[in-house]
Amino acid sequence: MRPARELRWPDLVWDHFSRPRFGGFDERVAAAAEAGFAGIGLFVDEYARLRDEEGRTPAALRAQLDDHGLALADIETVRGWCDDNGGPSAECHRLEGLAYELADATEARYLQAIGPYRGTIDEAAVAFGALCDRAAEHGLLVGIEWLPFTNIATPADVQAIVEGSGRANAGSCADIWHHRRGTNDDAMLRRLDPERVFAIQMNDGPMQPNLDDYKEDCMRFRVSPGEGELDAVGFIRLLAGMGVASPISLEVCSTELWAAPASDAARRAADGMRRVLAAAGEGR
């Protein structure tokens, strides 16, 4: 097993939201190992449920992952880190506490942050820097994922906050869905510092929405890389050409795949991603 903090391109991570939000942890772990993933991601509120309802300790989760040759690569998600007072909300404190408890036991690599923020973008940069300082005490990189339904909607928004924070562990998450279905501006993406693209989330789907509600649409209709219209091969070539070196997370949020056995969903995501990497000349 490779430690989470040693994972890099093109190691594959099975993101938490490729399965239903709660439950099925044992099946998730077994399926990820069987499909050849190097690690998984875990949602902080699912960790809280595992701990509080199933009595699982962080050490027990770490042992289970070790037994399957998996690392806990990604922890999701903290929000509210720039609230009305310019600092974290009570909810953010709660989410961070769960994340750090988990990271201390598992030596996880990465913590995902999302918007919105309150105040000015300069105030957001200061607050994000403070979040990064807190996370650094637990060995975590922190990346902001741009989401078109928040006020951190583009790579440029993330870049302004990350650069303004001045922190070495401050970076971004590039999700193909939010890039292609958002600005779809490759030049804007190329302006990101490739060494600060700490997370990549791959999936696929239609270019045109099925629903008017963006958030609901992106949580229901994704497919595995190479099965849709988002040009997954081109996106991988773009990131490779930039010099991005982060591991690749598969975030295939799909009501169809959530209903399928975990082993089928994991295999379909991993096989699709490997075909995309091979077509992009990035396989190994």
**pLDDT band of 206, cuts 50, 70, 90:** very high
**pLDDT band of 284, cuts 50, 70, 90:** low
Ordered domains of the chain (ranges, CATH): 4-279 (3.20.20.150)
Q: Which of 123, 154, 151, 129 is nearest to 142 (CA)?
A: 129
> Rounded distance, CA 281 to CA 284, Å?
9
Neighbours of 128 (CB within 10 A): 26
Whether the per-residue pLDDT at 85 is higher than 90: the answer is no
When pLDDT is averaged across residues 232-252 and rounded to a whole number, the result is 98
Work out the percent of the chain whose per-residue pLDDT is above 90. 97
Residues 154-171 have pLDDT tens digits of 999 999 999 999 999 999
> Rounded distance, CA 281 to CA 265, Å?
24
Residues 139-152 have pLDDT tens digits of 999 999 999 999 99
Give the SS3 label for residue 145.
strand
When pLDDT is averaged across residues 120-138 and rounded to a whole number, the result is 98
DSSP states of 261-276 as a string?
-HHHHHHHHHHHHHHH
Least confident of 37-41, 76-80, 82-86: 82-86
> Rounded distance, CA 196 to CA 160, Å?
13
Q: Which of 50, 91, 98, 49 is nearest to 75 (CA)?
A: 98
Residues 3-40 have pLDDT tens digits of 999 999 999 999 999 999 999 999 999 999 999 999 99
> Rounded distance, CA 249 to CA 200, Å?
6
pLDDT at 84: 87
Burial of 55 (0-12, 13-18, 19+ CB in 10 A): exposed
When pLDDT is averaged across residues 76-88 and rounded to a whole number, the result is 95
pTM here is: 0.97
Q: Which residues of 188-202 are buried (b: 16+ CB within 10 A; e: fewer)?
A: bbeebeeebbbbbbb
Two structure tokens written together for 240: 């490779």
When pLDDT is averaged across residues 80-98 and rounded to a whole number, the result is 96
Mean pLDDT, the chain, whole residue set: 97
Whether the per-residue pLDDT at 66 is higher than 90: the answer is yes
pLDDT at 222: 97
Whether the per-residue pLDDT at 183 is higher than 70: the answer is yes
Whether the per-residue pLDDT at 1 is higher than 90: the answer is no
Partners of 111 in beta bridges: 75, 142
